[in-house]
Amino acid sequence: MNAKKTKLKNGILVTSLKMENTDTVSAILMLKGGVIYEPRNLNGITHLIEHLCFRRLAGIPQRELYYKIERSGGHLRAATYRDYVVFELTMPKEYFVDIPCILRSLFDDNRWTYEDIRLEKEIIYREVEQTGDWTYKRIVYDFFEENSYGAEILGTKNKIKKLTYKQIIDWKNNLFENPEIVLCGNFSDVQLDEFCKAFTDIPSLKNKEPVDIMPKSFLMRNSKSDRCYTEQGDYLKLGISFDLNIDKPTAKLMVKTLFGLGISPFNMRLREKMGFVYDIDTSFSYFDFGGILTIILDVHKDKAVSLIKEFAKTLIEQKCQIDYKAFECAQKRLDFENQIAMQNSQDIAYRVAFDENNGFSKITYEQLQDGARKVFSPQNMIVNLNDVAPEQELLDALYEEKEKFREKLGE
C-alpha cells in the first residue's frame, strides 16, 4: 500500500491513496489539538469547537450543511482525541468536487453567533453529565494523573460555561494552523491536483511544538499503582492493564492473538472454566512512546477470586509459550481485515491517517514471544478493581490473589 505524499507550498501535507475498486472517496482533515495542548482554564474548548463546526460551517446553517452532504449519500463526522481532532468526509465518487469545498470551508470564519455557542454548550453539558464506564478512564488516570493527557476531553461543565466568545474564536484559529490531510478512494490525477489547489491559499503553517506527555511512572509500575474502589453491588469490574513497551504492530498482533479471536487462549479458558459467554473487553491505546493494554472483565463477586486465578494462570502460560495456532489465526485475520479495508475508502483513510497499515505477516512467532516476555512483567502491571462490595473478607482475598499474580509474573 503505497500512499503518495504531496507537500503544498504553505506546508500542508496531503497524503493520497488511489482505490479504483471502490465507488467512494474519503478525506480526513487532521489537526493537532485536544487536551494535551489546552491550558487548564480552557479544558474542553477543542471539543466544543469541533461541535460548533457542525452547527454553522462558514455561515452555512447545520440543517443546510447536512442536506448538502446527505442528499448525495455522503457522510460527515468529526472526533476529538486527546492529541488530535479529525474531520472526515466520505462521498460517492461522482460528488468528488464537494469534498475539497466542504473541508476548505472549515478554515473560514464560521460566523458563529452567541446563540450558536449557547446552544452547543448546552449539548456538551448533557454529555458531561452522562455516566459511563469509568474503569478504563481510571486506569488511564493512573498513568497520566500528573499529565495533561489525563484531562477530560469534554472538560467540565463549569469550565465550558466560563469560555468566552473571544477565547473560542482565538482557539479555533489556533487549532486550524497545523493541518494534515488524507485522501483515499476512486479519483483521478486531475482531481487530486484540484483537491490540493483548494488548500493552497491557506496561510503558511505555524508548526506547533510537540507536547511531552510521557508519564513519569511509565514502564516503572509497582503494586502501589493498583486501585480498588468499593461500591454496593453483586458485580464488580476487574481491570488489568500492561504497559506496551514494544512496537505498535507487534503489540496489535499480540492483543489479537491473546484476546481477539474465538480460539484465543483467554476466551477459551474463561468459557470452559468460568462459563463466560462473551468475549473479553480489551482497550488498546498506543502513543509515540508506547502503549497501554487494558483488559476489563465483569464478574459476580462470588467468582472474582477464581477469575483472577484463571486469568493469571493463562497469562503466565502465554508468557512462557504463546499459543501458535492462535498466532497463525491472528496474523491471517489482521491481514484479511487490511484486505477488506482496501474496498472501503473510509477504513483505509483512517489507517493511512494513523499509520496502521503495517503488514502483520512479517512479524515472526519468535518476535511475538519475545514481546510477551517484555510486556507481561510485574512492574508493567496495574490491577484495578471497581464496584467492589465493601466486604473485608472479599477485599482481603482479592488483594492476596492479586499479589500472587504479580509474584508469579516475575518468576
What number of other Cβ atoms are within 10 A of residue 39's Cβ?
A: 9
**Secondary structure of 265-317 in HEC code, one letter for each residue:** HHHHHHHHHHCCCCCCEEEEEEECCEEEEEEEEEEEHHHHHHHHHHHHHHHHH
Query: What is the C-alpha separation between 53 and 127, in angstroms, rounded?
Result: 17
Q: What integer pLDDT is reported at residue 194 of this predicted model?
A: 96
What is the DSSP-derived secondary structure letter of residue 234?
Answer: S
**Residues 298-320: pLDDT tens digits?**
888 888 898 899 899 999 999 99
Query: What is the C-alpha separation between 326 and 187, in angstroms, rounded?
Result: 39
Q: Which of 171-175, 284-288, 365-369 has the lowest mean pLDDT?
A: 284-288
Q: Which three cell numbers stand for residue 310?
A: 484463571
Nearest CA-CA partner of 387 in 158, 135, 47, 176: 135
Question: First vs last Cα of the chain: how many Å apart?
Answer: 42
Q: Which of 120-129, 152-161, 246-255, 340-349 has the lowest mean pLDDT?
A: 340-349
Question: pTM of the prediction?
Answer: 0.82
CB within 8 Å of 360: residues ≥ 6 apart: 249, 252, 253, 330, 331, 334, 335, 338
Nearest CA-CA partner of 219 in 373, 378, 379: 379
* Mean pLDDT score, 121-129: 89
Query: What is the C-alpha separation between 112 and 128, in angstroms, rounded?
Result: 22
Q: Which of 21-35, 119-133, 388-402 has the lowest mean pLDDT?
A: 119-133
Contact 51, 5 (CB under 8 A): no
For the chain, what is the radius of gyration of the CA atoms? 24
Query: What is the C-alpha separation between 54 and 51, in angstroms, rounded?
Result: 6
pLDDT at 105 over 80: yes
pLDDT at 222 over 60: no
